[in-house]
Amino acid sequence: MIRVLDVSKRLSDGFELKNITLSVPQGATTALIGSSGSGKSTILRLISGLIVPDQGSVLVGNMNVQQSDISVYRRQIGFMVQQGGLFPHLDIAGNVLIAGRYLKMNPGLLEQRLEDLCHLVDLPLSMMQRYPHQLSGGQRQRASLMRALMLDPPVLLLDEPLGALDPIIRSDLQQELKELFARLNKTVLLVTHDLNEAGRLASHLVLMDQGCIVQDGSLQDLIQHPATRYVERFVAAWRSSSDALWSDA
C-alpha cells in the first residue's frame, strides 16, 4: 500500500535521508523507530505529501505524490501529528470535522460521522463542544485520532501518537490502538521512540539511524539477530532502561 522507492531528501538544516526504500504492507501496522533526528518524522512528511523527495518516488496505492493532484492524494491519508496538533481556537467537533467541512460534505453525514467516531474511540459526544485545553492528554489524543480518521482514509500516519502521556494512560491506549488497528484493517505507519510500544503495536519494525534504515523485521529479529553494532546498542539501551525501572521499584 505504501512504497518509498530509493528516496533521498536534504532538508534546510542539512539533515539528509539517504536512498530510503521501504514497503508498508496493506492492512498491517509498521513502526518506525530510532533516536531523535534519525529521520522517522521526515519519512512521514514525505509520505503525507508535505514535502517531496529530491530523488526517488513515494506511492500510496497507485498514486505517486509527485505526479498526483495533492488534494486528492492527501484524502488517502489520515495524519496524526506529534502531540495531536489540535487547533486551540476550535472546539473538538470543529477540529474533527475540519476536513469534511472544507470539502463541503453534507451536514447530516458529518453529524453521523462525528457520532460514529466518538463511539469508535470511546469519547462521549458531549465532549465535542469542549476545547482542547478542557480535555485530558488521553482525551486529546483520542480526538486527534478521530480527526485523522474523519475521511475514512485507507492509510494512517501517526507521529508519536502516545507521546507525553503518563504510563497508565499510555499503556491503556496502546492496547486500545492495537485492537482498533486490527478492527479497521487500515495500513498504519507510526513513529515511536519506545521499542516496547513498537513491538506491542506493530508486526514490522524499521530501525533508523542518521537518515538510513539499518534494520527491519520483527521485534524478535532485532533482539536476536541485530544487523549492526548500532542495532545491538539500541536494543541494549532499551533493555537496560527496562531493567533499571524494575530494579528501582
Cβ atoms within 10 Å of 29's Cβ, excluding its own: 22
Give the percent of the chain with pLDDT over 70: 96
3-state secondary structure of 140: helix
pLDDT given for residue 82 in this prediction: 82
Q: How confident is the model at residue 249 (pLDDT cuts 50, 70, 90)?
A: very low
pLDDT given for residue 239 in this prediction: 81
- The DSSP 8-state label assigned to residue 63 in this structure reads E
Summarize pLDDT for 191-219 with one digit per residue, the tens: 998 898 999 999 999 999 999 999 999 99
- 78-87, 98-107, 213-222: lowest mean pLDDT where? 78-87
DSSP output for 185-249: T-EEEEE-S-HHHHHHH-SEEEEEETTEEEEEE-HHHHHHS-SSHHHHHHHHHHHHHHHHHHHH-
Question: What ranges do the domains of the chain cover?
Answer: 2-248
CATH code 1.10.510.10 for 2-248:
no
Mean pLDDT value of segment 119-142: 94
Q: Using an 8 Å Cβ cutoff, are 188 and 28 in contact? A: yes
pLDDT given for residue 248 in this prediction: 43
Q: How confident is the model at residue 241 (pLDDT cuts 50, 70, 90)?
A: low
* Chain Cα centroid distance, residue 238: 21
- 53-57, 99-103, 162-166, 197-201: lowest mean pLDDT where? 162-166
pLDDT given for residue 84 in this prediction: 78
pLDDT given for residue 171 in this prediction: 87
- 78-87, 103-112, 123-132: lowest mean pLDDT where? 78-87
Give the percent of the chain with pLDDT over 90: 73
Q: Is residue 245 pLDDT above 50, yes or no?
A: no
Q: Average model confidence (pLDDT) for the chain?
A: 91
Summarize pLDDT for 52-73 with one digit per residue, the tens: 999 999 999 889 988 888 889 9
For 153, the grid coordinates are 482514509
